[in-house]
Structure 1
Amino acid sequence: MLDVANRPMPKPEMFAAHRAKTLAELRKRKLEGVVLIYGFPEPTRAHCDFEPVFRQESCFYWLTGVNEADCAYFLDIETGKEILFYPDIPQAYIIWFGELATIDDIKKKYGFEDVRLMPKIQETLAEYKLKKIHTLPETCILKGYDALLDKNEFIDVVGELRQIKDDDEMVLIQYACDVNSFAVRDTFKKVHPKMWEHQVEANLIKHYVDYYCRCFAFSTIVCSGENCSILHYHHNNKFIEDGELILIDTGCEYNCYAADNTRTIPANGKFSPDQRAVYQAVLDCHNYVVAHAKPGVFWPDLAYDSAKVMAAGLLKLGLFQNGTVDEIVDAGALAVFYPHGLGHGMGIDCHEIAGWPRGTCRGKKPHHSFVRFGRTLEKGVVITNEPGCYFIRPSYNAAFADPEKSKYINKEVCERLRKTVGGVRIEDDLLITEDGCKVLSNIPKEIDEIEAFMAKKE
């Protein structure tokens, strides 16, 4: 069991270090002017005053640690002067919000020497002979300064810096991964045929909230049977039948830092021969990545090489025919069944920004072109490893009409696997270390391990 009372807390020093690195990089690039970025406003549902759980804009939180609505951050690049702007909340609001924080409270909580109220932004800008205002593309609400706004450079700077996680960030990410692992392991013991997909989802969410992960990295995917072929299935409303696979793609979020795991398990606790064969092909690909991910490896190359491992397993099964593994992969036949990238950067967003450096071009060969992370791995990168195989009827029907692909695909086996398997995905989060990688998750994924674990029903 996790100790929620002693869960790790984010430190103001971590965010101060992020701001220091950002300032150094801004100066290194010889950027001039000031930075002014806004956090998210308080969300409300249209035509009513319902307030969802607030979740801060990611870059703003990464820099400030402020997970409160309607704030802004100012930085003078030349002098390093920083200001946190905080909402001017009327005293009458104490009946809804409780006792309001003072300026001194905010300074102490977030580690800023200068905190001002939001209405002071225009007055503050008037103190500077502005050459340029660097801001974020989506959240800037500043009026009257359009000619000075630069919405490209700052997000590029922060996107690059967010790629490498520091030790304090890893403590938060590991906690999220621990909570996610616990929730998924517990769910293994509770699933069975004749329950609903949303009931599986409910068990996961219960554990997230139990361990103070009230925001989710994304909407939980729980699909069964042929629904497992829908990559981002969110209905979660099907009745789970005996003999079907259940694909669970889920991620909690702790202080804005994400976890992201997928497991595919048999509803009745036992893989059928077809399910076992497809699962093993995906698992072999997944395990190849774990064995080869390390600093200096270009991620798209690893995606391409590992795809061949999956193709070999599916060739052995009989899904592919009339060619070698290289021919099957290079013709795009595997991509019919594995139509997404190997993984994505992860951190303060589930899909970390700047997966491809600005100005780079994606490769053209299959399993190069659609990866979301086009970088060479470095120590401190956190990335997901999530190969999958899906039997998507419109996709393979289109492939049957393409002679360059169809000659490698056994149509009869393909149709059978759509019914008996649907789809398989296996996903873990990896931290790139000095000479390899560390799997941050602790969830069974070997076939015999899953079956033994599921046999321990509660």
Structure 2
Amino acid sequence: MKYEPINSNLFIKNRKNFMAQMSDNSLAVFNSNDIYPVSADTTLPFEQHRDIFYLSGVDQEESILVLFPDCPKPQYREILFLRETNEHIAVWEGEKLTKERAFEVSGVKTVFWLQDLEKVLFELMSYANTIYINTNEHYRANVETETREDRFTKWLRNKYPAHSVAKSNPILQRLRSVKDTIELDLMQKACDITEKGFRRVLDFVQPGVWEYEIEAEYIHEFLRNRSKKFAYTPIIASGNNANVLHYIENNQQCNAGDLILMDVGAEYANYSADMTRTIPVSGKFTDRQKAVYNAVNKVKNEATKMLVPGTIWADYHVEVGKIMTSELLGLGLLDKADVQNEDPNWPAYKKYFMHGTSHHIGLDTHDYGLLHEPMQANMVFTVEPGIYLPDEGFGIRLEDDVVVQENGDPFNLMRNIPIDADEIEDLMN
């Protein structure tokens, strides 16, 4: 890992919070992700399953966490199972967690090698009545691959069919959506690294550069600041490419007079930043571009004010739609007849702003969180309105990551990343 060590108190607290919501005499199991093959002997870079990371800080493959708060043997109430390491493995694959190091990272005192799993689990299951299995129930999930977690769950239910089954996901959806102060610091770090990348790009962009060259500038700055990668596939969309919401080819040349929409974010310690900025290739907006830009920025600022405890996500989006409608009327993109005759299920503003304004962000870019429940303090949301004008050859989206506060205004983790149109022009010139 490139990131600095994380205080294990975070993971100790996360486990305590999870176990407090488990039913009596129950046991929960969490698996690492697979290492996925490409072909021949190549694999994709390993990405740890965010749930086991959230609960343990363990960031390597073939790891299992077992939680059993009511176990009659106190030493078995928290257990980590790790792939055994030795000098030979260290030579070929690099350092893996020792039992001692695993305790330092996670705060879990009982650590076994993976080959002891079935034997220890057999004893534990004789005490437990219920198994908590970990399924992916995120509202955007569309998983076609059988995961390591899926295979383990299938094996566990087959071997112990008399046990009741419960789900970990509803507990994790609520816990992970509210961030600890340590998590907020890690997310701030991811945003600060993203800022460095953006400022580097402002100095780099000029007519004739290619979208992939801009992408390269970002990843250079991210890596040199202890990020291992983009938090998600970056969008570097010049000209009309910005009107493709998930444009990721990043293979076109940037022409004088065009705008570039850049939806990028650094990860840090598995936490995501999610930023969008739109800048002029030539260093100066046209009057029309600036008018649309300022309208989007105004919607973003007004939407941000609504991210307070008690807000319902669906109601929030209705209110954002009203603000966007007002701005589109001012730009001449809508008229009063468009609004009066609109379909309530697809309001007139959706012609130019067809996506949502906010989503949870944290360990996942589209993080855990139950959208039908009221917002709470220390939840973190993106705010990302946009106006897309294919007939005019440009689209503008602006996005920051914002913390809901118990009292006072929402806190913008991207407050230091330039966004004012005049400031963008000054920095580029």
- Cα distance, 1:141 vs structure 2: 2.9
> In structure 2, what is the Cα distance between the partners aligned to 1:326 and 1:212?
52
Q: Note if contact 1:136-1:151 (Cα within 8 Å) is conserved in structure 2.
A: no
1:105 is paired with a residue whose SS is helix
> In structure 2, what is the Cα distance between the partners aligned to 1:150 and 1:224?
54
**Which of the numbers 26, 30, 35 marks the counterpart of 1:37?**
30
> Does residue 349 of structure 1 match 2:364?
yes
Structure 1 unaligned spans of 5+: 357-373, 392-417
- Cα distance, 1:100 vs structure 2: 5.6
Aligned to 1:132: 130
Aligned to 2:265: 251
- The one-letter code of the counterpart of 1:448 is D
> Does residue 436 of structure 1 match 2:409?
yes
2:276 is paired with a residue whose SS is strand
Aligned to 1:447: 421
Aligned to 1:337: 352
Aligned to 2:212: 198
* CA offset digits 1:104-138 (Å, max 9, x no partner): 33333432211001121111121032433212125
Pick closer, same or farther for the CA change 1:151–1:185 going to 2, 3 Å.
farther
Q: Note if contact 1:277-1:313 (Cα within 8 Å) is conserved in structure 2.
A: no
Pick closer, same or farther for the CA change 1:152–1:249 going to 2, 3 Å.
farther
Sequence identity percentage = 29
- The one-letter code of the counterpart of 2:401 is D
Tell me the TM-score normalized by structure 1.
Answer: 0.82
2:403 is paired with a residue whose SS is strand
1:323 is paired with a residue whose SS is helix
Q: Note if contact 1:71-1:86 (Cα within 8 Å) is conserved in structure 2.
A: yes
2:378 is paired with a residue whose SS is coil
Aligned to 2:111: 115
Q: Note if contact 2:194-2:273 (Cα within 8 Å) is conserved in structure 1.
A: yes
> In structure 2, what is the Cα distance between the partners aligned to 1:297 and 1:99?
46
> In structure 1, what is the Cα distance between the partners aligned to 2:339 and 2:320?
11
Pick closer, same or farther for the CA change 1:150–1:194 going to 2, 3 Å.
farther
- Cα distance, 1:379 vs structure 2: 1.1
> In structure 1, what is the Cα distance between the partners aligned to 2:380 and 2:95?
39
> In structure 2, what is the Cα distance between the partners aligned to 1:9 and 1:99?
15
* CA offset digits 1:261-286 (Å, max 9, x no partner): 00111111111232122222211110
> Does residue 173 of structure 1 match 2:187?
yes
- Cα distance, 1:32 vs structure 2: 4.2
The alignment of Structure 1 onto Structure 2 pairs a total of residues equal to: 403
Pick closer, same or farther for the CA change 1:108–1:377 going to 2, 3 Å.
closer
RMSD: 2.3
1:277 is paired with a residue whose SS is helix
Structure 1 segments of 4+ aligned residues over 4 angstroms from their partners: 98-101, 148-152, 324-329
Q: Note if contact 1:65-1:110 (Cα within 8 Å) is conserved in structure 2.
A: yes
Aligned to 1:57: 49
Pick closer, same or farther for the CA change 1:272–1:259 going to 2, 3 Å.
same
Pick closer, same or farther for the CA change 1:105–1:297 going to 2, 3 Å.
closer
> In structure 1, what is the Cα distance between the partners aligned to 2:423 and 2:102?
49
> In structure 2, what is the Cα distance between the partners aligned to 1:181 and 1:329?
40
- The one-letter code of the counterpart of 1:84 is L
> In structure 2, what is the Cα distance between the partners aligned to 1:116 and 1:265?
53
> Does residue 309 of structure 1 match 2:323?
yes
* CA offset digits 1:293-343 (Å, max 9, x no partner): 222222322222122222222212221124375765845221122111111
- The one-letter code of the counterpart of 2:20 is A
**Which of the numbers 363, 374, 377 marks the counterpart of 1:376?**
374
Aligned to 1:145: 157
Structure 2 unaligned spans of 5+: 136-146
